[in-house]
Structure 1
């Protein structure tokens, strides 16, 4: 699933007593039924990109709108206005650096050049066009050593430093703007290198291990140019980095105003989870000893029960402190909510609130976490039916067809471990059931790669209230079904008809619910 890492502070939240409103007033001349969308560059709280339609102002023959934000600190807002006839296509973009109390007016004439815009109002000095250079490094993937790509990123940093200096001299922005953009430039080199290094190691494949020390040394050197310190080994229980060296941290509260710093530490979390998941497989004794203070069997059980969320919390508490740790806790919970992954979230949230009772973020999660707690308390009921031995003895699709003979069945191939599977259940399960209420449709849920997770599997069945027939598939059954129905990924839907024939759902992924409903109705009618 294409994950859109678009983040925005909710307009309905007030982070603290000192948060203020800020406004962007937009006026589009010579457009053609334009609409707009915007998102906030970086913050822990994640929502989809916000779309809207401009109002047509008859006296001025222009399109207008006002965007309102409740802010406790400066934020970067990316605005795209689309559906307009411009000189260079049908969309334009503008990046705002918005502070509490700002009231900025943006006026654009679509018949004029893209750079010919008017910015006025409080905060205008921070919001003229500032176009930093971005250098393409695609051709450098496969480089064995980091020297060339570091030189590229360093040149980009110097060029952008001059662009920022010219902007400051011309427009005299405020100190917060200057601080944020200087930090952005400092962290851009580190972030770009980190992105490149982590992607390049997959291009190098088996060769990477030989050259890894050079890449790690280069990364450490870049980190030292911003914020970097070794972590006391006693605090980490002897944990080591990829080169078996003491851990270091890039925790920097002052840099949270920087978009690039926020993205760097979030990307660090993603890569650390990948690295530790690999270590749990390749070196389980060390992994479970260092991260769970346990032997392999005890640690594996704790790892399974706590899930990725608990491991993320351990990473936060190991690498980050102060406001940065607060931010990373909020990112952890945001991602768990986004991926519909409730495992350990209630207990993690309780610890989060105790650690950061004055957090600007924590209170915004309370309602959602309370809902998770209520859903986790739900139990299996008599309408949740399990095949004999949970279906673990079944090997072929023919056995499933025999079990469901004479019924119209919606089959859902899923896994508790699979975020898209959970997301589809959350979005569509209740709606499909409501549409087919009191109709002759049966539901079959076949979980895959969950044989060692029976307790967690049943817990999710209760959590999502999946009433119907359930099978815990082994590898043979999973392979036979996916081959015969031509399923390629999880989740996969297919329909079994009363005559025993079957067909893959046409709804695709993400599911087009109306397409699946129409296909089911046709199957039931026939």
Structure 2
């Protein structure tokens, strides 16, 4: 059995006196052979502080940590995110990804039953829970009662384990904090849902005084000064909703000021959120919230220029912070993006002639008669779309060698026009380009998705002006995709 060693040094969670912890992680039945280990930063949950490691089917990852009294470790693999609170000593984690596995999680070490319990949450995201609660009961009294009842039931399980001395007081407090912010976030988002839904034209949803009172009660009774809350999964989103929705949009609504966020640029939105965090938080919480905002915005790869300025400002205010070095590569990418945007288009970056006036799919396809074309439907806001650009160079070489063409169709709206053009340069997207107008986008949605919205990335293969494959493989499929395209090459017929 092969072993891989990960030497990582997590800052102490509850004590300045670091102690040693060895964790063996075994993966069973994993389809993906990649695991991400997320470690705390100064006793806070900060996603960029991670180690990504490949493993084989029969392998064990050995994780060696310096911890305090207890430390949070997240393991992300095969589309699942696990939370463990590790104490000094030796622990073993078995993650079984097989369908119908009797024990998906086995833990040997301190707080074993608590470790399994905390990974049995019904919802991974409190936003999903909020939507179900708000659909089940539209009254503020009923909503609050149900959420608090469910929270108490979950907490009682940990209380029972604590009473039986099966978990430590430190583990219990961390689990309690995790539940607390999950359900606070759920309640805040549910109330926000009622508010924003009521603002839509012709909406039948009512935002009543009882909802407003519940929102006010939730935040009035909360202090944003507890640094231990920064180790929970949901604190950041809960606190962000406080500044953006409750203190921001709702407070303005009470003054009869309309929500203007739709009219703001990405830079203006980021500045508003950043200054909101500055005004509403203090001390360690403020530093954490600002750092998390900068990372989250940079991670989306929309490349807002203002992030460069705000990161410089953050580093000046917190010169010894441990956060910004973990996402400085993302800020460097933003600098490169805006440098690339100043350059001219290359001869291989071409726009469909008169593209703004192309209103139908047939009209667009007619421009590519006599050719084999691989089509990439994407948008500047689509992360998975942009992730596939990594495989573009090899695809371009294949298409060029086989006298085939590349067509990029952007589903972006008019407001993203410049962003679309800049991304063509930054990602060096060789081929033909078109951004859909409203008519063309509607026709695409009708023909490809049956008029029921759309999902991207999506890929097509055209031959002689007609769609011959409406769900082609992704560029990351490489040889399998090239084989798929080869079946429709025009030059084969010529030969």
Q: Same fold (TM over 0.5)?
A: yes
Residue equivalent to 1:230 = none
Q: CA deviation at 1:362?
A: 0.8
Aligned: 1:489 with 2:450: no
Residue equivalent to 1:264 = 238
Give matches, 1:283-302, under 5 Å.
286-287=258-259, 300=263
Q: CA deviation at 1:363?
A: 0.5
Aligned: 1:464 with 2:461: no
- For residues 237-292 of structure 1, what are the alpha-carbon distances to aligned partners after superposition, in whole Å with 9 as ceiling and x for unaligned? xxxxxxxxxxxxx46434213344345336768x849x969x99xx997555xx8x
Q: Is the 8 A contact 2:380 2:423 kept in 1?
A: yes
Residue equivalent to 1:44 = 47
Whole-Å separation in 2 of the counterparts to 1:401 and 1:157 = 55
Q: CA deviation at 1:493?
A: 2.4
Q: Is the 8 A contact 2:113 2:166 kept in 1?
A: no
Residue equivalent to 1:167 = 161
- For residues 317-354 of structure 1, what are the alpha-carbon distances to aligned partners after superposition, in whole Å with 9 as ceiling and x for unaligned? 34433323333333334434543322233333223322
CA RMSD of aligned residues (A): 4.8
Aligned: 1:347 with 2:343: no
- For residues 176-220 of structure 1, what are the alpha-carbon distances to aligned partners after superposition, in whole Å with 9 as ceiling and x for unaligned? 535433433443441332344455678988343342x31231133
Aligned: 1:519 with 2:493: no
Q: 2:84 aligns with which of 96, 113, 117?
A: 96
Q: 2:267 aligns with which of 301, 306, 326?
A: 306
TM-score (norm: length of structure 1):
0.68
Number of residues paired by the alignment? 450
- Any idea what SS the aligned residue of 1:443 has? strand
Q: 2:181 aligns with which of 181, 187, 197?
A: 187
Q: Is the 8 A contact 1:405 1:500 kept in 2?
A: yes
- Any idea what SS the aligned residue of 2:487 has? helix
Give matches, 1:285-434, under 5 Å.
286-287=258-259, 300=263, 303-304=264-265, 306=267, 309-344=270-305, 345-378=307-340, 379-383=343-347, 384-389=349-354, 391-425=355-389, 427-434=390-397
Aligned: 1:221 with 2:236: no
- For residues 490-509 of structure 1, what are the alpha-carbon distances to aligned partners after superposition, in whole Å with 9 as ceiling and x for unaligned? 33322222x32223443368
Closer/same/farther in 2, CA of residues 346 and 70 from structure 1, 3 Å limit:
farther
Residue equivalent to 2:437 = 474
Closer/same/farther in 2, CA of residues 523 and 339 from structure 1, 3 Å limit:
farther
Aligned: 1:145 with 2:139: yes
Q: Is the 8 A contact 1:413 1:493 kept in 2?
A: yes
> Could you tell which deviates more after superposition, 148-157 or 465-474?
148-157
Residue equivalent to 2:126 = none
Closer/same/farther in 2, CA of residues 207 and 506 from structure 1, 3 Å limit:
closer
TM-score (norm: length of structure 2):
0.71
Residue equivalent to 2:99 = none
Q: CA deviation at 1:361?
A: 1.4
Q: Is the 8 A contact 1:340 1:423 kept in 2?
A: no
Q: Is the 8 A contact 1:414 1:446 kept in 2?
A: yes
Closer/same/farther in 2, CA of residues 446 and 157 from structure 1, 3 Å limit:
closer
Q: 1:208 aligns with which of 200, 205, 208?
A: 205
Q: Could you tell me which runs of 5 or more consecutive residues in structure 1 were left unpaired when the two chains were aligned.
A: 1-10, 57-63, 83-91, 228-249, 292-298
Q: CA deviation at 1:475?
A: 1.5
- Any idea what SS the aligned residue of 1:373 has? helix
Q: Is the 8 A contact 2:302 2:380 kept in 1?
A: no
- Any idea what SS the aligned residue of 1:392 has? helix
Closer/same/farther in 2, CA of residues 12 and 337 from structure 1, 3 Å limit:
farther
Q: Could you tell me which runs of 5 or more consecutive residues in structure 2 were left unpaired when the two chains were aligned.
A: 1-5, 40-44, 97-101, 124-128
Q: Is the 8 A contact 1:493 1:505 kept in 2?
A: yes
- Any idea what SS the aligned residue of 2:488 has? helix
Closer/same/farther in 2, CA of residues 54 and 348 from structure 1, 3 Å limit:
same
Residue equivalent to 1:25 = 24
Residue equivalent to 2:42 = none
Closer/same/farther in 2, CA of residues 340 and 37 from structure 1, 3 Å limit:
same
Aligned: 1:506 with 2:494: no
